A and B are shown apart, each in its own frame.
Chain A
Amino acid sequence: MSFEMWAEKYRPKRLSDMIDQKTIVERLKSFAKSRNVPHCIFAGPPGTGKTTAALCLARDLYGESYREHLMELNASDERGINVVRETVKTFARSRSIGEIPFKILILDEADNMTSDAQQALRRTMERYTETCRFIMCANYSGKIIEPIQSRCAPFRFSFLPRAEHDAYIKQLAERENVKLLPDGVESIFEVCGGDLRRAINTLQAAASMNKPVDSLLVYSVTGKASPADVQRMLNTAINGDFLGARKQLRDMIQKYGVAGVDIIRQIHKEIFKAEIPEPWKMKLATVTGEIDFRLIEGSDEEVQLSALLARIAEAGNEMKKEN
């Protein structure tokens, strides 16, 4: 068992190493072959290989010294307009030395960029096309402004299909000498839903226990990985204690830094498992969906999720009346 992060260790190096997204990979390979790359948007859910594909493309283009021709920026951490004005521009306008006349700028989580910054980016993309090509990675391409979208070749990444996911995880376990039982693979997929980064992290955390990885271990790891005791919070809300539920929510977010999207995903799951009258499950799911959408759009996770908890508390009260 190696003592580094497996998700990094096994990140594909070349486009030919990539196990999925076949059509995308083929197109990218042709870019590398013709030594020309358009501006691109890689859109798709997390853990589907967007950043990896961009890095692989760079390596295929420039060889092992690809770092000299590449800049990686993460829009979540540097999302303001100043980054575009200064960092991006400086990088984009300087000429590349080497056979390939352009450099590559990977803008990760680009959908988190302010629209101001995106507007500024649009001009930079146009002006320095000759010296720099942009690859924008985003979960939601819809949050990238139209003018940028129209300048980019779109690529849609999707979750790994079940069979390929399982094969990959099994192979990885073998290489790391981890005893992975069949129900273990199954539950990894169930928990991570095809998000490969998550799946690998889950496998590694489970393997670190030095026990055969079975379904039980996977669930206990993912349970611990989310200190969010969503079930308890949900019950608190259903019993009408909104303030208590809000306090639990605050702890999850502030103390443990659990992401709002993770909490709401679990709430959604728990709703259907909860012991509440059947017709209520879909009603609650509807509200959850609405809040999930606002979470993507809005700004404050606690405010959004507590609005959901208030609705659940209201529903709990209605259920009591029905009985």
Chain B
Amino acid sequence: MYTAWTVKHKPKSTCEIVGNILAIKALREWLRSWEKGIPKKRATFLHGPAGVGKTVTVEALAHELQMELVEKNASDYRTEDAINRFAGLASQYGSLFGGKRIILLDELDGLMGNADKGGVKAIINIVKNARCPLVLIANNAYNPRFRTLRSYCLLIEFKKPAAGMILKTLERISTREEIQPEETVLKFIAQRAEGDVRSAVNDFQALAQGKKRLTYNDVSWLAHRDRQDSIFNVVKLIIYGRTSLGAKKAVNMADVDLDMLFEWIYENAPSHLTDPHDLAEAMNALSMADVYRGRIRASQDWSLLRYVIDYMTAGVAMARQNSKVSGWIPFKFPSRIMALSRSKTQRATRKKIGLKIRRRFHISAKRASNEVLPYLRIIFKGNVQMAAGIAKWLDLDREMIEYIAESKAKAGKINTLLS
């Protein structure tokens, strides 16, 4: 039978909750302070990002302190009327059976718009008259709508637990589910969750359910839970693709053009393919993709584009045979493009010189800068007179001379000879 692991393995006690030790302690102390009468703040406001354990903490504490938990969340109506009906509960000291009671209003972020009209005002009224602990939960307590409400509450912040903490949770679950994952697998999932324990557990279930063993290859393709559905994701789907078709399809998700995507893969593949053979295969695939780009350019036959895509996606994905990646390697912006823009002025000067040489030398500007320029450089550095003669013959300007001589002083000398 399918049960969500987030429910099945929900922490029963606070010691199973990872991270946020201080927050949990603060909440516990506040709850216990009710034993000595009604405290100054009749409500606490737990806030923090999704999936870090706010609700779970309240549930676990209720269990530990043997209190009855009455919970209302986004699925309930929260108009003023609906909340006032519910307010009766809060105004009583305890449950029907004499036990103590916690009232939890979850997902207050959803409290907005017309449907929840007057909701916040109603909640403030309940807080003022509460005779049992009232716990409020929202992602963002600093929303202006909560300004007045905040002043009546004890604020407790929950933070994202570190990946290592999430790892503990995943290890606990894998023991209970009798799954033997490679160590890197859990690390990978934990890191990818970015502090969201719930999503980490969901990922783990999606990947591991029904399996006894879990290898890195089983998980590496995992998508970045719609947080950064961007070029990173696309590159990842390609470099860690398990099927050719999957890797090929990733191209459609890219919001950059094919050449830019090529650069991303070309930049990042080496750091994600640790095995030299895998890397050589991937680079070979990129080389073949490039050959087809050249063929398209030469023939203008764009139907060949499909082979460019094949090689740069499926070709790269299938190169992965033995590579293991421990830990999380970030994807980088193509450094080649950055280097190109940095050397822009230099290349422009070189091109201008190439054109000057071409006029005199009967070779293309490109060839000129590749074949003739290096010799000019030697001459310009070594023989000022000859340099001046050639500069005059080629009609080079000051900037070009300086570029070739690679020295202001030398260029100055050459220029004096010229004038």
Segment with Cβ contacts to A, from B209-217, B226-234, B370-378: B370-378
Q: Which residue of chain A has the shortest Cβ distance to B346 in the bound complex?
A: A255
Please tell me if the beta carbons of A76 and B290 are within 8 angstroms of each other in the complex. no
- B339 and A250 form a contact (CB under 8 A): yes
CB pair A259 B280 closer than 8 Å? no
Is B350 an interface residue when CB atoms closer than 8 A count as contact? yes
B290 touches A254 (CB 8 A): no
Give residues 230-279 of A contacting B (CB, 8 Å): 240, 242-243, 246, 250, 254-259, 262
State how many angstroms separate the Cβ of A189 from the closest Cβ of chain B. 17
Taking the closest CB of chain A, its distance from the CB of B379, in whole angstroms, is 4
A314 with B277: CB separation less than 8 A: yes
B117 at the A/B interface (Cβ < 8 Å)?
A: no
Contacts of B371 in A (CB 8 A): 46, 197-198, 201, 259
Let me know if B363 is at the binding interface, CB within 8 A: yes
Main secondary structure of the interface of B (DSSP, over half): helix
> Which residues of chain A (79-138) have a CB below 8 Å from chain B?
108-109, 112, 114-116
CA distance A221 to B228 in the complex (A): 52
Interface of A is mostly: helix
**B175 contacts chain A at the CB level, 8 A cutoff:** no
Complex interface residues of chain B between 378 and 406 (CB less than 8 A to chain A): 378-379, 382-383, 385-386, 388-390, 393-394
> Chain A contacts of B366 at CB under 8 A?
76-77
Please determine whether A5 and B294 come into contact, CB atoms closer than 8 angstroms.
Answer: no
Question: B271 an interface residue at 8 Å Cβ cutoff?
Answer: yes
Candidates B277, B280, B362; contact of A55 at CB < 8 Å: B362
**Given known contacts A242-B279, A313-B276, is B364 in contact with A77 (CB within 8 Å)?**
yes
The residue in chain B whose Cβ has the minimal distance to the Cβ of A320 is B276
Residue A215 CB within 8 A of the other chain: no
Cβ-neighbour of A242 out of B270, B363, B372 (below 8 A): B270
Query: Given contacts A201-B371, A306-B283, is CB(A208)–CB(B290) below 8 Å?
Result: no
- Do A7 and B336 touch across chains, with their CB atoms under 8 A apart? no
**Hey, which chain A residues are within 8 Å of B299, CB to CB?**
114-115
CB distance from B144 to the nearest CB of A (A): 49
Q: Do residues B393 and A205 form an inter-chain contact, with CB atoms below 8 A? A: no
Residues of B near A205 (CB, < 8 A) are 375, 378-379, 382
Given contacts A108-B364, A310-B283, contact A297 B291 (CB under 8 A): yes
Q: Which A residues are in CB contact (< 8 Å) with B286?
A: 303, 307
**Is B361 a contact partner of A311 (Cβ separation < 8 A)?**
no
Q: Is the CB of B363 within 8 A of A108?
A: yes
A303 touches B266 (CB 8 A): yes
B131: Cβ under 8 A from any A Cβ: no
Q: By the criterion CB–CB under 8 Å, are A109 and B379 in contact?
A: no
Q: Are B361 and A221 in contact (CB under 8 A)?
A: no
| B52 CB-CB contact with A under 8 Å | no
| Given the contacts A3-B390, A303-B287, A311-B284, A254 and B340 also touching, CB distance less than 8 Å | yes
Q: Is A229 an interface residue (CB 8 A)?
A: no
With A8-B361, A109-B364, A115-B298 in contact, do A208 and B383 touch (Cβ < 8 Å)? Answer: yes
B126 to chain A, nearest CB (A): 61
A291 interface residue (CB < 8 Å to B): yes
Decide: B270 and A210 in contact? CB cutoff 8 A: no
Quick check: is A20 within 8 A (CB to CB) of the other chain?
no
CB distance from A245 to the nearest CB of B (A): 10
* A209 and B284 within 8 A (CB): no
Q: A108-B363, A243-B271 are in contact. Are A116 and B291 (CB under 8 A)?
A: no
Answer yes or no: B252 CB below 8 A from chain A CBs. no
Q: Does A2 contact B (CB under 8 A)?
A: yes
Answer whether residue A204 sits at the interface, using C-beta atoms and an 8 A cutoff: yes
Q: A5-B390, A311-B284 are in contact. Are A51 and B363 (CB under 8 A)?
A: yes
- Of the candidates B287, B347, B372, which one forms a contact with A298 in the assembled complex, judged by CB atoms under 8 Å apart? B287
* Closest A residue, CB atoms, query B299: A115
* Smallest beta-carbon distance A254→chain B, Å: 5
Provide the residues of chain B in CB contact with A306, threshold 8 Å. 266, 283
Instruction: State whether the Cβ of B293 lies closer than 8 Å to any Cβ in chain A.
Output: yes
In the complex, the answer to whether A257 meets B370 with C-beta atoms within 8 Å is: yes
Question: Residue B295 at the A interface, CB < 8 A?
Answer: yes
Flag whether A225 is at the interface (Cβ < 8 A): yes
CB-based nearest B residue for A206: B378
**Would you give the shortest CB distance from A210 to chain B, in whole angstroms?**
7
Give me 17 other A-B pairs in contact (C-beta within 8 A), A76-B366, A299-B297 excluded.
A3-B393, A8-B360, A76-B367, A77-B358, A108-B364, A224-B377, A242-B279, A257-B347, A257-B369, A257-B370, A257-B373, A258-B370, A259-B371, A291-B287, A297-B291, A300-B294, A317-B277
